[in-house]
Structure 1
């Protein structure tokens, strides 16, 4: 990406490490890319399996999608299934990134398994800007105390110079698991319909779980997943970063087998539309994206344009001052996380095909907007959703309470990510889990 070209030096092997910027950048020196990121070349990568494509979406909480997104069953054909929320210019311009597995060869990272996200040539819309923004966001998060275990680790990237891929931007992530929350939910819906589990068939016999025990284990898996998602989002917000694309396809798991509950690790990715809401960004000062993209400060910078839909909706909501814009952005992410909670609860704990993301958003934000008691009663009347209703009703209906707060139509009343983590419903993820076993 020539206009996003990084400052580099060779550090051994075939990996290139980022170095400090020239003195002309003055006080912004510490905000340039950290030494933890590498520029690779194609020869540093042994390409593995192509997993599919990921459509880069910017999600908005203001409207319900007119068309239902297809249900992704793996990282293949990733659609943000909370779209439900509407996609902005990137979806309209058709920006899709190809996803591959692979491993590094040569250099000091040889043998490390990786996931690769290949953005198309810059001729296709904002592909270059999206790739640069995603790299910038990860660098900003990773440079703070090593980052969060609940956010994917970016190792670096490269631009393909020759062949059919010439001009494409490739981001290189450490492969800590490529299964999506969307894929897990689809498998779990199938298992719910047959009173089974997600994982090896012999797990049932080994664990001796009865039907109720299997559902309890699925509930525990979903709770643990959602708790870690909120941990990742809370970390982003603590670093004054918004996600803006949070959905079941933007969450990766190291396993979708419920036998591995204690080893489950969730990681957030898809930060192409991440927004910097630091004081510098909100008050019009230089951001890393500004420097990176053009080498100078510009009001029409492409990095700033990526957040235009968010700030347009903020203006419609009567938000004009910088600090309120930041809080509006946090609340927008919480809305997306609330839709994700609803998706995981209903799709994983209901028979496959009985409910989907767009239907859930219409149900909770249009039909029964801000009336979660009425929504619960409506769901209770449908036998297909009985297990999902029971899940959200745990602890004196605490799940419904949290869901209602996260989806509140008044953004000022939505909880923070930290408040969600301390809510009684998500705190259940930290307690001991017991399962009913067959005699």
Structure 2
């Protein structure tokens, strides 16, 4: 049952609300945008939504999940000669060496993700809908950041950064990208929680798809349900291949849009890609969308020259270690850093959905590539060929005469200057191959 939010009020002293008080973002794919970023308007052939800035504009429904961020204290990109150690558990979208549980956990909606944590420190996800105006009834998903009392100033900073990143990207002269989740507005409660409202474009993530698919493979093999018909087996493989390629291509299109608009994602992984369907037969209608921009970084040169900031400090430390010292070199390193994360996402999608549950996860894939084989993809392939449980993953990456391995090797190149840009990944021959 949905309930209204009459007890939510905004504090004029809140850093985040100081942004929310100004016109925010709207509903249609190509709206007329009037934002605090550039305060300009654009006409559109599509109808536009009224401003949504008040809690009274929304109704809140059921809680559908929660998750938390981790503090990344060191970089786990390939380091020659290093023995990488990892914390226990599935790290999902994070690539880390030394990981500690962060002080901010955000309440978010994800139907298959529910972590048991102290509710005062979680990010929660709620269903909801618009309660007023011409778009009344439109479904939304709320991401809720805990207030300062529960999580300190860090929570407000992350919420404000995510809000600002979406607003900036949605006010681009290029129009709104279909591969980014659409922010509709937000508000603050009396207890200081920051609520961000996104259009409901799907409750599943790439991580959910991979998990459900691998479990399906395990269930079929345990029950000996594997089809006796070789043609049907091949068609099932092709459907999965087509779905995964479209998923990754959509995610990279969203990342290319961000980079073209001077923004880094900096938290890219299977949990940060939202899907409108996880049915492989519906791959033609699949629209992946990037979310989780709390760590997004502005890489316009005017910002790079201002000096260190909360969200740039660790990135620039790693850039300096790689020899990137000037603003231009740092910008190039930041883009390449996102590509490396995207490469780990690609590896995850190449292995986990094609293996039965329990064989591979994000951590084991990363260990295999970085620690065991030091990013030597041909050696990785030879190893996987010797394991019958990994043959489908090898078959996937072998498509196009090994084009998948070629792309993965390029994205994970130890030399950041040799990694491709996002647009080159989108247009790589592996991504544009005719699967059927």
TM bracket, shorter-chain basis: 0.7 to 0.9
- Equivalent residue of 2:134, what SS? helix
Query: Could you say which residue in structure 1 is the equivalent of 2:392?
Result: 387
Q: Which of 77, 88, 96 is equivalent to 1:85?
A: 96
Mapping for residues 146-225 of structure 1, pairs under 5 Å: 146-161=175-190, 166-194=191-219, 210-225=232-247
Task: Give the structure with the larger helix fraction.
Answer: 1
Aligned length: 380
* Contact 2:68–2:102 (CA under 8 A) maintained in structure 1: no
Shift of 1:57: 4.4
Query: Cα 1:18–1:328, aligned 2, differ >3 Å: closer, same or farther?
Result: same
CA pair 130-65 structure 1, distance change in 2 beyond 3 A: farther
- Cα gap change, 1:236 to 1:61, in 2 (>3 Å): farther
Matched residues in 2 for 1:51 and 1:20: separation? 30
Structure 1 residues 228 and 45: alpha-carbon distance in aligned structure 2, compared to 1, 3 A threshold: same
- Checking the alignment, whether the CA contact within 8 Å between 1:37 and 1:156 is kept in structure 2 is no
Alpha-carbon distance in 1 for matches of 2:260, 2:299: 11
The superposition leaves residues 58-104 of structure 1 with CA deviations (integer Å, 9 ceiling, x where unpaired) of 6644375622334xxxxxxxxx5143435778x43243311111111
5+ residue gaps, structure 2: 1-10, 25-31, 43-47, 79-83, 107-122
Instruction: Note closer, same or farther for the CA distance 1:170–1:108 as it changes in structure 2 (3 Å cut).
Output: same
Q: Does 1:62 align with 2:91?
A: no
Secondary structure of 2:431's counterpart equals helix
Structure-to-structure mapping, 1:21-420, within 5 angstroms: 30=38, 38-57=51-70, 60-62=75-77, 66-70=86-90, 81-86=92-97, 91-96=101-106, 97-123=123-149, 124-125=151-152, 126-144=154-172, 145-161=174-190, 166-194=191-219, 210-284=232-306, 304-420=309-425
When residues 68 and 9 of structure 1 are mapped into structure 2, their CA distance, relative to the original with a 3 A threshold, is closer
Of structures 1 and 2, the one scoring higher in RCO (CA 8 A, sep 6+) is 1
Give secondary structure in 1 for the equivalent of 2:432.
Answer: helix
For 2:20 and 2:360, locate their aligned partners in 1 and report how far apart those are by CA, in whole Å.
49
User: Mean Cα displacement is larger for which, 263-272 or 2-11?
Assistant: 2-11
Q: Alpha-carbon deviation of 1:307?
A: 1.9
Between the aligned partners of 2:315 and 2:267, the Cα distance in structure 1 is: 12
Q: 1:411-437 deviations in whole A, cap 9, x for unaligned?
A: 111111011112111112xx3x43xxx
TM-score (norm 2): 0.80
CA contact (8 A) 2:50 2:134 kept: no
Task: Report how far residue 19 of structure 1 moved.
Answer: 6.8
